[in-house]
Structure 1
Amino acid sequence: MAHRPVRALRSRAAALRALVRTSEVAVVALAAVIGALVGVLAWAMGTAAHWLHVLLYGIGPQVRLSAALDIPDWRLVLVPALGGLVLAGFNRWLKRRRPKPPVDPIEANALHGGRLSLTDAAVVGAQTILSNGAGASVGLEAGYAQAGGGLASRIGLFFALRRGDLRVLVGAGTAGAIAAAFDAPLTGAFYAFELVIGSYSIGALFPVMASAVSAVVVARALQAGTYAMETLSPGAVEDELYPLALLVGVLCGLSAILLMRGVAATERLLARAVPAEPLRLVLGGLCVGILATVSTVAMSAGHGALHLAFVTETPARLVLLLILVKALASIASVASGFRGGLFFASILIGALGGKLFAGLVALAVPPGPDPLILSIVGMSAFGAAVIGAPLAMTFLALETTGSLAVTGLVLAAVLVAGLTVRRLFGYSFATWRFHLRGETIRSAHDVGWINDLTAGRMMRRDPKSVPADLDLAAFRKAVPLGSAVQAVLLDADGRYAGIVSVPEAHAAPATATLAELARHANSALLPGTNARDAMKLFEAAEAEALAVVDGPARRVLGLLTEAHLLRRYGEEIDRLRREETGIGPG
């Protein structure tokens, strides 16, 4: 009797899983619930980081750290350095318990079919809050996206979603996180499409938008306002501004490349000069603190400084100084090991850059363009160049200003900035970091299925095999015509010695030997060879079939034909296209 409630609960859970797996409406509803939960998480993370600022720097609850004016210099220098030491201790504790580095949502969707660990989300969230709370020049976006993606993945795995649906749900979770952070649902949605899902489709639109909208609603109810940006509504946009916007886009693209290469070069330099991680983090914190004595724009993400950049008039010389301070602080923070993103830092640098450009044009051709408009253009163009999400940054400008006219300018600059980075560099900041780690992915587009489609999984496990020392007559008797297309030869020790075409052996002269007929003795596949590498091997060997061997011992495990490989590859490509277009199940 006691087992009946348990069985009933399991039965209901199984029915619910079946409903979610087979109903598009149920997936959308699930995404909306995830968005609401992610909205709470974003509020909690933003609040935690802000109260660390209040506690550690002695600022008022309504003051943003990057806009604070009365923090003593000793506190500005000491707190980030001590924060780096605390983060190093936390990282050391983590490595003993969880040595594998966390997988982020882009990597998870590209390589692992959307599988993310909720523990990884908690780890990255804690590291990000510690880094940002200590004043390092990093944003909380990495923590937000990890939390949203991790929660969505865990819930999706509970419902046993298909690979394609799980990837979309992870995108929906990150959409909700970014939307709640910036109070901008369209920005969050297109962040997910461009960075986490890797493509746009009608099938993905509904769950992603449901998550983004519900996250924003919850964040507004909690009065989160983590990164919500306020700006004056810019005036009318003149056609003469379009050439200036295009030039700003080019300059933002070039500057973004310098920033990303600067992070990588500084990281390599610090790794060689300061091998100990605690010392690197302390040194990075000291650099940020020293820069903060010049201007607190160096601290944290830069929300307060961005607001001031929009609403105040600043001399061009001072704007240039603020750009350098923020860029150097961001490079020092990320390169030394503080956890966080460059999303908001790039927005701030871009806004200051646009303002500087407007000031320089005004000096040459007074009165010059509206600095507010070019600040918004620079903000979006530089953000798109670094983050690699042009439409997300365009919608951020639209949701920030409410001006379609300004959005047209922004779109022009964003496209030019993105094209500049794509042609001259080829990576966004996230994919550049993957490249430095040795990964080959350039986006979140699903390539993990290629690694799952291995020779060991596609091979025929019972190939016809014969000793290599048989004479031709004995071979013909052992392998009659029509019984097999290829036969695998084995030497006296049972190792792979080549492949013989059965029709060719039956058509050969009686004086021929198997050694003369054997092909591809030096070409073989390993069980873990993926489909793409297998196709390259088939092409190089000009073979119709290759043996699958277990490695140096060269024991034959099976046989794979090129025709079967191409058919399975085509089936997977077709399945992915159906998923992306929403016209069939995954």
Structure 2
Amino acid sequence: MALAVMVGAGAGAGSVVFRWCIKTFTHFFSGHADYSASPGASNPHAPWVGPYFVLLAPVVGGLLYGPLVNRFAKEARGHGVPEVMLAVAQRGGRISPKVAVVKTLASALCIGSGGSVGREGPIVQIGSALGSTLGRLAKVTEGRMKLLVACGAAGGIAATFNAPLAGVFFAMELILGTFSAEAFGAAVLASVTASVIGRAAFGNTAFLRLPDFRVDHLTQYGLFATLGVGAAVAGVGFSRFLYLVEDACDWLWRGPEWLRPTVGGLALGLVLLLLPEMYGVGYPVLQKATEGGYAIGFLLLLLVGKMLATSLTIGIGGSGGVFAPSLFIGAMLGSAYGIAVHHLLPGSAGAVGAYSLVGMGAVFAGAARAPITAVVILFELTGEYSIILPLMLAIVLATATGHLLTHDTVYTLKLRRRGIDLEGPAPGARIGTQRVDAVMDPLPSPLSASTTLADSADLLGLSGHGALPVVDGAGAYVGVVTAQAVAEALAEQPDNAPTRVGQLAEAPLPVMADQSLAQALHTLLSAAGTGVPVLDSEQGKPVGWLSHQSALRAVHTVA
């Protein structure tokens, strides 16, 4: 807990430094605190150049951060979150301390010189690197190391967006991928500590001033549901377009990697010259869109422009997040949709700003499939409880639609393109690549569902397993009963207590015989008892038993 507080304090301080660097570099390159608030204006430092300075700003910025990233920390390139997810899933939470420094400077230079990316990816990577470094200094176990990395991510999000709850759920949902009381408590401590520091530096205000949200008519729920489905398509489309542009940049570029952001900055400069609203993160533009300040045609242009500008920034080797761009895209889509339905149903459509807010959360949920984070962060931004029902409806539909459209998220797709499966074995791992049927044990004698609890206790005690499969009278597989469940039922003895083992049987997540051991281990580790049944992939009948011991014996098969 003390380490979690220290990590939160470090992430909060890192957020303050990072935002100061962005502000300083933005003013240096553009002459404005946020150039997207004054798109098309001249640079006060060089007024004779007019708005054409945006052609050179990304070039100069790339010349500074390109060699920095290539020389000291190549993992600082890109949007950051996938690298943290990989470190937690397959590298024991180990992140080089150099990443915190390099990511701070590289991302601030990229955003300050016009890179159309967000600041959440960098601060997640910065906070996580701080957590990993502190964990190594304190010589904590691997599990605690991963937890400190998640604490750094939670603190970074909390301080950057003034959203402590969103920071906690971001860490749980995306970084750790699991929920536990210990992890939740540590992440809360880190998030609260970082938020206190962030509020002391930036004030207790959200980074956006959002319009009042209300649902005026019941028909709006149907409109919000439709928006959720459309937002998922936009989110998945953004993910695919992002890596399509990156592939194109990889194919076109033949020079040294350190020079790539400089040369690619010319293409980004052309986009900024045509659409200066794309300069930097673009929160002022997002703010204006939520207030209904743009026509529907220009909103769609901004949507496409953000996809292109963000993808190009990442493709040329820039450093920054994709969370803020997904919110931007969602706001443009939601505002355009709100204007359209307002014209079609003027009496029941409601305010345009409501659709903009819901679109923000739904696009992110469709792209990242992190519904809890999406709901919580939008709720914290508005402070309005009335947003919850339509927001939950749209985000759940967006998440489900995104899952139907693609197996990967905007974060995991980057890793899968590099041949990395977060659910699979780490490169060089001793076990994980084998098939389950190659390492499983013979199936233990199953219990009949009609077996009494007393008899089942004797059979479980003699079996040597902490759990046994259960079949019904026809021999069909029902599930698994654990020794713990039987012991608890025998100890309770209420009037309505179960009397037969079939009443306690539960079916764990299926483990198939032709499945890889790496995927099956996730189910085995989360299951009660000491093993799980292995099912035939065609008929779904138990054909073997996978235990911790049989998984460990796989080491000898590859030795």
Output the TM-score relative to the length of structure 1. Answer: 0.69
Provide the rounded CA distance (Å) in 1 between the counterparts of 2:362 and 2:422: 23
Q: Does 1:187 align with 2:166?
A: yes
Single out whichever of 147-156 and 174-183 deviates more from structure 2: 147-156
Aligned 8 A contact 1:182 1:225 in 2: no
Q: Deviations over 1:221-266 (max 9, x none)?
A: 1127897222122234532221111111111111122211112222
SS of the aligned residue for 2:22 comes to: helix
Aligned 8 A contact 1:40 1:218 in 2: yes
The one-letter code sitting in structure 2 at the alignment partner of 1:32 is V
Specify which of 29, 34, 40 is matched with residue 64 of structure 1. Answer: 34
Question: Which residue in the other structure is 2:193 paired with?
Answer: 214
Provide the rounded CA distance (Å) in 1 between the counterparts of 2:168 and 2:37: 29
Specify which of 74, 92, 97 is matched with residue 52 of structure 2. Answer: 74
In our comparison, the structure showing a higher alpha carbon Rg is 1
Question: Which residue in the other structure is 2:322 paired with?
Answer: 342
Q: Does 1:333 align with 2:313?
A: yes
Alpha carbons of 1:247 and 1:399: their partners in 2 closer, same or farther (altered >3 Å)?
Answer: same
State percent identity of aligned pairs: 26
Which aligned pairs between 1:309-388 and structure 2 lie closer than 5 A?
Answer: 309-367=289-347, 368-388=349-369
Provide the rounded CA distance (Å) in 2 between the counterparts of 1:438 and 1:227: 39
Q: Does 1:308 align with 2:278?
A: no
Specify which of 373, 383, 402 is matched with residue 383 of structure 2. Answer: 402
Alpha carbons of 1:440 and 1:372: their partners in 2 closer, same or farther (altered >3 Å)?
Answer: same
Alpha carbons of 1:295 and 1:190: their partners in 2 closer, same or farther (altered >3 Å)?
Answer: same
SS of the aligned residue for 1:429 comes to: coil
Provide the rounded CA distance (Å) in 1 between the counterparts of 2:101 and 2:203: 20
Q: Does 1:35 align with 2:15?
A: no
Contiguous gaps of at least 5 residues in structure 2: 43-49, 434-515, 522-543, 555-559
Specify which of 140, 143, 146 is matched with residue 119 of structure 2. Answer: 140
Aligned 8 A contact 1:450 1:532 in 2: no
Question: Which residue in the other structure is 1:567 paired with?
Answer: 549
The one-letter code sitting in structure 2 at the alignment partner of 1:77 is L
Q: Does 1:431 align with 2:415?
A: no
Number of corresponding residues: 439
**1:271 Cα deviation after fit:** 1.6
Provide the rounded CA distance (Å) in 2 between the counterparts of 1:221 and 1:106: 30
Alpha carbons of 1:297 and 1:225: their partners in 2 closer, same or farther (altered >3 Å)?
Answer: farther
Which aligned pairs between 1:52-131 and structure 2 lie closer than 5 A?
Answer: 52-59=25-32, 63-69=33-39, 70-71=41-42, 72-94=50-72, 104-131=83-110
The one-letter code sitting in structure 1 at the alignment partner of 2:551 is Y
Q: Deviations over 1:266-285 (max 9, x none)?
A: 22222222222466424542
SS of the aligned residue for 1:104 comes to: helix
Provide the rounded CA distance (Å) in 1 between the counterparts of 2:187 and 2:132: 14
Provide the rounded CA distance (Å) in 1 between the counterparts of 2:76 and 2:194: 30
The one-letter code sitting in structure 1 at the alignment partner of 2:272 is A
SS of the aligned residue for 1:209 comes to: helix
Q: Does 1:46 align with 2:19?
A: yes
**1:327 Cα deviation after fit:** 1.5
Contiguous gaps of at least 5 residues in structure 1: 1-27, 456-529, 536-561, 573-586
Q: Deviations over 1:152-203 (max 9, x none)?
A: 1111222222222221221111000011110000111111011111111122
Alpha carbons of 1:270 and 1:301: their partners in 2 closer, same or farther (altered >3 Å)?
Answer: same
Question: Which residue in the other structure is 1:272 paired with?
Answer: 251
SS of the aligned residue for 1:200 comes to: coil
Q: Deviations over 1:424-470 (max 9, x none)?
A: 1111111000011110126xxx9659936589xxxxxxxxxxxxxxx
SS of the aligned residue for 2:202 comes to: coil
Aligned 8 A contact 1:319 1:356 in 2: yes
Provide the rounded CA distance (Å) in 1 between the counterparts of 2:383 and 2:173: 22
Which aligned pairs between 1:248-287 and structure 2 lie closer than 5 A?
Answer: 248-276=227-255, 277=257, 280-287=260-267
Aligned 8 A contact 2:241 2:307 in 1: no
The one-letter code sitting in structure 1 at the alignment partner of 2:549 is R
**1:531 Cα deviation after fit:** 5.9
Aligned 8 A contact 1:182 1:229 in 2: no
**1:73 Cα deviation after fit:** 1.9
SS of the aligned residue for 1:222 comes to: helix
Aligned 8 A contact 2:225 2:393 in 1: yes
Provide the rounded CA distance (Å) in 2 between the counterparts of 1:563 and 1:378: 46
Aligned 8 A contact 2:242 2:307 in 1: no
Provide the rounded CA distance (Å) in 2 between the counterparts of 1:97 and 1:570: 32
Single out whichever of 258-267 and 36-45 deviates more from structure 2: 258-267
Which aligned pairs between 1:159-178 and structure 2 lie closer than 5 A?
Answer: 159-178=138-157
Question: Which residue in the other structure is 2:272 paired with?
Answer: 292
The one-letter code sitting in structure 1 at the alignment partner of 2:315 is A
SS of the aligned residue for 2:429 comes to: helix
Aligned 8 A contact 1:46 1:224 in 2: no
Aligned 8 A contact 1:380 1:393 in 2: yes
SS of the aligned residue for 1:136 comes to: coil
Aligned 8 A contact 1:288 1:299 in 2: no
Aligned 8 A contact 2:69 2:102 in 1: no
Provide the rounded CA distance (Å) in 1 between the counterparts of 2:92 and 2:250: 32
Question: Which residue in the other structure is 2:130 paired with?
Answer: 151
Q: Deviations over 1:15-63 (max 9, x none)?
A: xxxxxxxxxxxxx23212211221110010011011111111111xxx4
**1:98 Cα deviation after fit:** 11
Q: Does 1:243 align with 2:222?
A: yes
Alpha carbons of 1:194 and 1:104: their partners in 2 closer, same or farther (altered >3 Å)?
Answer: same
Question: Which residue in the other structure is 2:473 paired with?
Answer: none
Aligned 8 A contact 1:227 1:303 in 2: no
Provide the rounded CA distance (Å) in 2 between the counterparts of 1:533 and 1:177: 31
Provide the rounded CA distance (Å) in 2 between the counterparts of 1:454 and 1:357: 47
Provide the rounded CA distance (Å) in 2 between the counterparts of 1:405 and 1:452: 52
Which aligned pairs between 1:5-20 and structure 2 lie closer than 5 A?
Answer: none
The one-letter code sitting in structure 2 at the alignment partner of 1:66 is S
Provide the rounded CA distance (Å) in 2 between the counterparts of 1:57 and 1:108: 36
The one-letter code sitting in structure 2 at the alignment partner of 1:231 is L
Aligned 8 A contact 2:425 2:431 in 1: no
Provide the rounded CA distance (Å) in 1 between the counterparts of 2:224 and 2:298: 22
Provide the rounded CA distance (Å) in 2 between the counterparts of 1:294 and 1:376: 27
Aligned 8 A contact 1:139 1:340 in 2: yes
Aligned 8 A contact 2:156 2:194 in 1: yes
Aligned 8 A contact 2:214 2:386 in 1: no
Provide the rounded CA distance (Å) in 2 between the counterparts of 1:162 and 1:248: 45
Alpha carbons of 1:371 and 1:168: their partners in 2 closer, same or farther (altered >3 Å)?
Answer: same
**1:120 Cα deviation after fit:** 2.4
**1:533 Cα deviation after fit:** 9.9
The one-letter code sitting in structure 1 at the alignment partner of 2:364 is G
Aligned 8 A contact 1:231 1:401 in 2: yes
Aligned 8 A contact 1:39 1:216 in 2: yes
Aligned 8 A contact 2:366 2:399 in 1: yes
Provide the rounded CA distance (Å) in 2 between the counterparts of 1:305 and 1:395: 23
Provide the rounded CA distance (Å) in 1 between the counterparts of 2:76 and 2:179: 35
Aligned 8 A contact 2:286 2:331 in 1: yes
